[in-house]
Amino acid sequence: MAIQSGAAALCDAHVHFFSNGFFEALAGQKAGLPASNPVEAMVASLGWELPGSNVELADRWAGELDRCGVSKSVLIASVPGDEASVAEALRAHPVRFWGYFMLNPLAPDAVERTARALDESGFRGVCLFPAMHRFSVRDERLQPIYELAARHGAAVFVHMGVLTVGVRKKLGLVSKFDMSFSNPIELHRVALEFPGANFVVPHFGAGYFREVLTLGDLAPNVYVDTSSTNSWTKYHTPALSLRDVFSKAIEIFGAKRLLFGSDSSFFPRGWNRSILDQQMAVLKELGVGSEDLAAIFGGNLQRLLG
């Protein structure tokens, strides 16, 4: 089901590119895998399919988007240092994908990596996971990264709120995250100091919904993506429905700062259509008009990333 409205088409702001590099990083942390084929054994234990080469995986995602009526998507390099995998995908399909990459901003080469990714490889977003890498987004060491993003008109994707990595849980890998760095309010000063940068908070703040609404009301360069099941709503008392979430987000952010995302990641599942169907049904129930639907499901992302 493609969504067309003038130049707007269905776009996905949140797809993970689970490359060989991604699986190799996980296999290096998983005990008990056979030395001869650790990645193959690990992927088989998940019931997933091997990605093949980066170009093969990019081709598969392009075909999957065609099958599902998705015009274009963000591809996220989902472990630090895996920019090269998504860079190959971008070269293979330059009009089908935007590239984001995960960055540990405390790494010694973080600024250089960001500059290379934005200057040379055509990436359009840098992904920060404060709870995972245990840093504050207000740390002065991140200022050169924000400056680079602003200069390039790139997005700064910041995962706030509850952070669980499904594949790590499936593999029994310990995740020593620190949620004390996960409050969206941490971004308030940063967003105001870097008005030329655009900040994207996924999953409506993943449990910090009130805080992300406050942030969005105060900082016009903050967006939210709608991705995944949004199971964080169970933490609220009384529990929020997805209808409640969209209604309030549109009230505070407006439809122009919401970005549809599916959080798709692995094969054979491929693109997670159920997220689209669920969110489209909720928005139509709310009576959201066709122009705003086109913005949320593609137009806003196209405007943001170019």
> What single string gives the DSSP state of each residue in 178-233?
-GGG--GGGHHHHHHH-TTSEEEEGGGGTT-HHHHHHHHHH-TTEEEE--S--GGG
Q: Note the pLDDT of residue 213.
A: 98
* Pair 305, 155: CB distance under 8 Å: yes
Q: Note the pLDDT of residue 4.
A: 42
Going from N- to C-terminal start, the domains of the chain cover 11-305
Its pTM stands at 0.96
Per DSSP, 53 falls in state: S
Q: Note the pLDDT of residue 239.
A: 86
* Pair 199, 156: CB distance under 8 Å: yes
| Residue ranges for the chain with pLDDT beneath 50 | 1-7
- pLDDT digits 0-9 by tens, 100-147: 999 999 999 999 999 999 999 999 999 999 999 999 999 999 999 999
11-305 to CATH, choices 3.40.50.11540, 3.40.50.620, 3.20.20.140, 1.10.580.10: 3.20.20.140
